[in-house]
Amino acid sequence: MRYQMLTTAALAAVALADDSSSASATTTGIPATSTYDIKVGSDNLKFDPETLTASPGDLLNFHFYNGNHSVAQSSYDSPCQAQDNGIFSGFFAGGSGKDEDSKVFSMRLNDTNPMWLYCAAGEHCKAGMGMVINAPSGSDQTLSSYKDKAKSADVKVPSSVYGGVVHDKPQGTTTASASSASATKKSGAAVVAARGSMLGLVGGLVGVVMLL
Ligand SMILES: *[C@@H]1O[C@H](CO)[C@@H](O)[C@H](O)[C@H]1NC(C)=O
Ligand SMILES: *[C@@H]1O[C@H](CO)[C@@H](O)[C@H](O)[C@H]1NC(C)=O
Instruction: Per residue of the chain (212 residues), give pLDDT as tens.
Output: 444 444 444 443 433 344 444 433 445 555 679 999 999 999 899 999 999 999 999 999 999 999 899 999 999 999 999 999 999 999 999 988 889 999 999 999 999 999 999 999 999 999 999 999 999 999 999 999 999 999 999 999 999 999 999 999 987 533 222 333 333 343 444 444 444 444 444 444 444 334 33
Q: Could you give the domains of the chain?
A: 1-30+174-212 (no CATH), 33-169 (2.60.40.420)
Report CA(153)–ligand 2 centroid distance (Å).
Answer: 27
- Strand order from edge to edge, sheet including 51-52: 51-52, 130-133, 115-118, 72-74
Regarding beta strands 35-40 and 59-65, do their DSSP bridges make them parallel or antiparallel, or are they unpaired? parallel
- The pLDDT assigned to 32 comes to 78
| Whether the CB of 184 sits within 6 Å of ligand 1 | no
- Tell me the per-residue pLDDT of 1-34, one tens digit each, with 9 for 90 and over: 444 444 444 443 433 344 444 433 445 555 679 9
Beta carbons within 10 angstroms of residue 38's beta carbon: 21
Distance in Å, CA 175 to ligand 2 centroid:
30
Q: Is the CB of 110 under 6 A from ligand 2?
A: yes
Report yes or no: 58 and 47 within 8 Å, Cβ to Cβ. no
pLDDT at 171: 74
CA-proximal residue: ligand 2, atom 3 (nearest)? 193
CA angle 78–85–146, rounded 5-degree value: 25
From the CA of 110, the nearest ligand is: 2
